[in-house]
Amino acid sequence: MRGWLGLCLFGFACGPAEAGPEAPPPDPPGKKVCTTADDCPGAACGRDNLCRPSGAGGAGLGELCADDEGCASAYCDDGVCSSLCGSCPSGAICSLDRLCRYRLAAPALSLGPVTTTVDGAQPVSFEVPADTGAVVVVIEDPDRLRVAARRLSRPDGMVLTDPFDAEAEIIPVASYPGAASVLIANTDDPRATPVPGAWQLTVGSYDPANFETLAPVPGAIERIHVLFEPLAEAGGTMDLELLLAPGTQLNAASATSSQVLIDLLDEVQVRLLEPIGAELGTVRYRDLPSDNDVIEDGNETRRLCEAHSRPGPHGTSINVAIVADLAYTSGHAGGSPGPPGIYGTPASCVVIERLGGARSTGLLMAHELGHYLGLRHTTELNGNGDPISDTPLCAAGTPVDQCPDYENLMFPTFPLGRELTLSPAQIEIARRSPWLYERPL
Ligand SMILES: [Zn+2]
């Protein structure tokens, strides 16, 4: 169909001799030409725009494939079963490349690369569409410098983030080695609403070894991606890739019948997913090599995430590694939020250790996933609060178990065995995360 239309370059006369309504080309003998899957009742529309039987392999949309025959849609795109857009299945959108995809797995707006100096970089601009509920900017540097947003401003020029000016941050951001994200908004401050128009962002790169202060260094940021989550979509489905170190006594082969993992995931549902209107989607299990049983420090955590994170069947999975001993803490999330849909970076997973009980481990996982969706600690150990108005702040010197936020899921040293909760504003932020793939309101 597109063969002859493609010849109609500017200045060339071509096409049918008779003027008239655009006539579709005749179907080749024994074949039916299609534009979308809807043109092929009971069959699939292949990449050659011909109806063909569904692939014998029968893998569904978003599942992994080796070739077209392995997909029910008869279209294997870059290792993932896809479909030319007609009526996309629930949760999928028609992507720019005319394939049905989950939004998080579709090509994002790309702003990079950008060269950074000690003074920052040239600002980049991105247009926020109307009716946007959340925006995530992902800054990625394969050179593994520490990266972060250096300045973020709204279309009217109001600065929401600038760690180098004297003002308090309206949208606080964190730096992270290799990849870092900015969530608009990780706060319920009305000034941070993702209003439509041209936003401006300056990125920075920093000394990766310096955790205490931001020490700018020159660098090159290869990619800046911007993801938009429509206002009409909240809650949704969370896919997980659970990576199991052998020292946990958990393994992929017996995972689906493991009472420990069943109870663990149930705790994640009760404490995090149900409150934010989300549900578990596809959960897959993989075994980690035994050298991941004990993780000594943050660098080892980041190496694990870089080496073992995978997109999962829909390109949207959050990777969580469960190890026997996370020697320096109990749980570590690769950012708040974690970089949605980006894999193989030091920030591309959450690592937790297996605690004594399945429910305790699930509570720990719910807390770290809360970070990965964009929530910060209600009161940091240094006394700073989160940017959320309805979470209490624990005053300096208060015994931990008397802090007013002690029973919030995002308190940094939360108690086990209690019914930890999220505040309404925390719920509203988490349920708008692009990590949750779409389920219309
Ligand atoms: Zn935490």
109 CA distance to ligand 1 middle (Å): 30
* Predicted local distance difference test score (pLDDT) of residue 2: 33
Q: What is the DSSP letter of 440?
A: B
415 CA distance to ligand 1 middle (Å): 12
289 CA distance to ligand 1 middle (Å): 26
303 CA distance to ligand 1 middle (Å): 20
List C-alpha distances in Å: 354 to 251, 283, 367: 13, 18, 14
22 CA distance to ligand 1 middle (Å): 60
* Predicted local distance difference test score (pLDDT) of residue 56: 62
Q: Which of 182, 205, 206, 207 is nearest to 128 (CA)?
A: 182
233 CA distance to ligand 1 middle (Å): 26
214 CA distance to ligand 1 middle (Å): 21
With H, G, I as helix, E, B as strand and everything else as coil, classify residue 381.
coil
409 CA distance to ligand 1 middle (Å): 9
134 CA distance to ligand 1 middle (Å): 22
Pull the structure tokens for residue 381.
């150990």
Report d(CA 75, CA 69) in Å as an integer.
Answer: 8
368 CA distance to ligand 1 middle (Å): 6
36 CA distance to ligand 1 middle (Å): 46
Edge-to-edge strand ranges of the sheet holding 331-333: 278-287, 236-244, 318-323, 350-353, 331-333
332 CA distance to ligand 1 middle (Å): 7
Q: Which of 51, 59, 109, 42 is nearest to 84 (CA)?
A: 51
331 CA distance to ligand 1 middle (Å): 7
C-alpha count within 13 angstroms, C-beta hemisphere, residue 264: 24
Angle at 65 (CA atoms; ends 282, 236), nearest 5 degrees:
25
Encoded amino acid at 434, one letter = P
* Predicted local distance difference test score (pLDDT) of residue 327: 93
93 CA distance to ligand 1 middle (Å): 33
Q: What is the pLDDT of residues 152-204, one digit of tens each?
A: 999 999 999 998 888 889 999 988 999 999 999 999 999 999 999 999 999 99
- Between the two ends of the chain, the Cα-to-Cα distance in Å is 38
104 CA distance to ligand 1 middle (Å): 25
103 CA distance to ligand 1 middle (Å): 28
Q: Which of 372, 380, 436, 440 is nearest to 408 (CA)?
A: 380
Pull the structure tokens for residue 250.
């958990």
Q: Exposed, middle or buried: residue 43 (CB in 10 Å: 0-12, 13-18, 19+)?
A: middle
252 CA distance to ligand 1 middle (Å): 26
350 CA distance to ligand 1 middle (Å): 11
Report d(CA 95, CA 100) in Å as an integer.
Answer: 6
372 CA distance to ligand 1 middle (Å): 10
364 CA distance to ligand 1 middle (Å): 9
Residue with token string 């692939």: 55
Residue with token string 């008779």: 18
432 CA distance to ligand 1 middle (Å): 20
371 CA distance to ligand 1 middle (Å): 7
pTM, entire model = 0.83
382 CA distance to ligand 1 middle (Å): 13
150 CA distance to ligand 1 middle (Å): 23
95 CA distance to ligand 1 middle (Å): 35
369 CA distance to ligand 1 middle (Å): 9
419 CA distance to ligand 1 middle (Å): 17
Q: Exposed, middle or buried: residue 208 (CB in 10 Å: 0-12, 13-18, 19+)?
A: buried
List of residues 6+ apart from 39 with CB closer than 8 A: 32, 33, 45, 51, 86
Q: Which residues of the chain have pLDDT under 50?
A: 1-22, 440-441
258 CA distance to ligand 1 middle (Å): 26
323 touches 247 (CB < 8 A): yes
Tell me, rounded to whole angstroms, the distance of Cα 273 from its chain centroid.
16
Q: What is the DSSP letter of 101?
A: E
List of residues 6+ apart from 265 with CB closer than 8 A: 280, 283, 362
Report d(CA 298, CA 21) in Å as an integer.
Answer: 65
52 CA distance to ligand 1 middle (Å): 51
